[in-house]
């Protein structure tokens, strides 16, 4: 009885954690600037994990696969509660399924902690639930595993239509969930639609705005050797095209800059600087780094700029961020950026990327995104409404940066 309660506890924790993870993944796909409650810092973040190349397996979101797995375990436990004969074998079925799940958990945990160097709170709860179910079912599996296939087919024959209907309903629901899950390509939003979503976001209270302004005005201003080209507000964003937080900042800033430039043409200028977290081109990153395609992505944007395809290349990279590989970036540079000679131009262009990295290092940049608004350093992503407040403050109070 105690083991059953512990199993149910692990099952409930797993269902809640994987359900929340699926919700966050959907929100991130629909709105790249979405910040989840579990996005605590650059190293403790759910969206970093979900948006990485480890967030999907063969195109299927890991969060949704986890939720379906816990639902399947729940169905087995539920059926076992009303069928004493089936209950004798269900522990073995759960043990086999949890052994398979454990192998995925170990792989994903290694990828998160040692490759991405990110802790995903919802993922950790899911890992704990899977490990708990594995240990509990393993300790209570009394029948030999070698006889499990024979017992399984005997259970199917005995339960007949009930098991068939339950199985078919589960498979149909699982396939429908995987098919209907929003895909990354649907998250490529125009500046106008992003502006609408930003304006619809909950606005901070007066106390929150005052507190932000007190913090913002207390920050030192760093002189930047970057041309403002007549803009009263110069925003310099040290970014990495494989960084989910950089994507959030990108989609948060673009509609705001478009809004202010529509009101006061040329008043705000955004300059993206490269700071790829990839040791291939960034000597400040150790052990390969979490973003193994970031150097190629930075080069692709620079080469696309020469073809007047910079914006298209940036949009493509950010919208395809979870699946980027060096080869995929090279192909996109050709197809999207109209760059036919990527490899030939890579070496001289990567030197320009390294120049940005050195510039960022001299300003104390160590993580992405690091944003300077008229020299005020902001490490990380602000909510869109606070970016908006900072730009408005600069337009009203700050002296224009040197041209």
pLDDT in tens, 39-88: 887 678 887 788 777 888 877 889 999 999 999 999 888 877 766 666 77
pTM of the model: 0.58
Q: Which of 148, 171, 144 is nearest to 75 (CA)?
A: 171
Q: What is the pLDDT of residues 143-200, one digit of tens each?
A: 777 777 887 777 777 766 666 777 888 899 999 998 888 765 444 334 334 444 444 4
Q: Percent of the chain scored above 70 by pLDDT?
A: 87
Comma-separated ranges of CATH 1.20.1440.130 domains in the chain: 2-185
Comma-separated ranges of CATH 3.40.30.10 domains in the chain: 189-397
- 60-61 and 56-57 as β-strands: parallel, antiparallel, unpaired? antiparallel
The values of phi and psi at residue 328, to 5°, are -65, -40
3-state helix/strand/coil string of the chain: CHHHHHHHHHHHHHHHHHHHHHHHHHHHHHCCCCCCCCCCCCCECHHHHHCCCCCEECCEEHHHHHHHHHHHHHHHHHHHHCCHHHHHHHHHHHHHHHHHHHHHHHHHHHHHHHHHCCECHHHHHHHHHHHHHHHHHHHHCCCCHHHHHHHHHHHHHHHCHHHHHHHHHHHHHHHHHHHHCCCHHHHCCCHHHHHHHHHHCCCCCHHHHHHHHHHHHHCCECCCCCCCCCCCEEEEEEECCCCHHHHHHHHHHHHHHHHHHHHCCCCEEEEEEECCCCCCCCCCCCCCCCCCCHHHHHHHHHHHHCCCCHHHHHHHHHHCHHHCCHHHHHHHHHHCCCCCCHHHHHHHHHHHHHHHHHHHHHCCCCCCCEEEECCEEEECCCCHHHHHHHHHHHHHHCCCCCC
Q: What is the pLDDT of residues 105-134, one digit of tens each?
A: 999 999 888 877 788 999 999 999 999 999
- pLDDT number for residue 383: 75
Q: What is the pLDDT of residues 235-285, one digit of tens each?
A: 999 999 998 888 888 888 999 999 999 999 999 999 999 999 999 999 998
Q: What is the mean pLDDT of residues 209-230?
A: 89
CATH topology for the 189-397 domain:
Glutaredoxin (3.40.30)
Q: Which of the four CATH numbers 1.10.3720.10, 2.40.37.10, 3.40.50.80, 1.20.1440.130 does domain 2-185 have? A: 1.20.1440.130
Judged on CB neighbours under 10 Å (0-12, 13-18, 19+), 2 is exposed
The values of phi and psi at residue 272, to 5°, are -85, 130
């Amino acid at each position: 009885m105690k083991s059953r309660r512990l199993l149910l506890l692990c099952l409930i924790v797993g269902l809640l954690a994987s359900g929340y993870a699926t919700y966050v993944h959907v929100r991130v796909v629909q709105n790249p600037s979405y910040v989840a409650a579990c996005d605590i810092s650059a190293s403790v973040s759910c969206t970093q994990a979900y948006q990485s190349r480890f967030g999907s397996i063969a195109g299927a979101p890991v969060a949704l696969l986890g939720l379906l797995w816990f639902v399947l375990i729940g169905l087995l436990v539920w059926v076992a509660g009303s069928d004493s004969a089936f209950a004798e074998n269900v522990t073995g079925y759960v043990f086999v399924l949890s052994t398979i799940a454990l192998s995925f958990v170990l792989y994903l945990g290694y990828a998160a902690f040692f490759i991405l160097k990110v802790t995903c709170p919802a993922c950790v709860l899911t890992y704990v639930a899977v490990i708990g179910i594995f240990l509990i079912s393993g300790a209570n599996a009394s029948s030999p595993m070698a006889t499990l296939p024979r017992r399984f087919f005997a259970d199917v024959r005995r339960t007949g239509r009930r098991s068939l209907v339950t199985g078919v309903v589960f498979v149909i629901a699982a396939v429908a969930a995987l098919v209907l899950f929003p895909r990354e390509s649907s998250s490529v939003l125009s500046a106008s639609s992003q502006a609408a979503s930003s304006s619809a976001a909950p606005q901070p209270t007066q106390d929150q705005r005052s507190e932000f302004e007190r913090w913002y005005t207390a920050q030192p201003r760093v002189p930047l050797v970057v041309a403002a080209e007549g803009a009263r507000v110069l925003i310099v964003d040290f970014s990495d095209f494989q960084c989910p937080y950089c994507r959030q900042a990108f989609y948060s800033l673009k509609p705001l800059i478009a809004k202010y430039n529509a009101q006061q043409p040329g008043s705000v200028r955004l300059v993206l600087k490269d700071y790829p977290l990839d040791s291939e081109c960034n000597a400040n990153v150790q052990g390969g780094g979490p973003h193994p395609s970031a150097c190629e992505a930075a080069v692709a944007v620079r080469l696309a700029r020469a073809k007047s395809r910079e914006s298209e290349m940036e949009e493509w990279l950010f919208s395809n961020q979870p699946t980027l590989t060096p080869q995929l970036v090279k192909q996109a540079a050709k197809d999207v950026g109209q760059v036919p000679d990527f490899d030939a131009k890579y070496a001289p262009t990567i030197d320009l990327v390294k120049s940005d990295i050195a510039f960022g290092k001299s300003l104390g940049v160590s993580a992405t995104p690091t944003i300077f608004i008229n020299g005020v350093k902001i490490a990380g992503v602000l909510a869109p409404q606070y970016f908006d407040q900072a730009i408005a403050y600069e337009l009203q109070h700050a002296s224009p940066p040197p041209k």
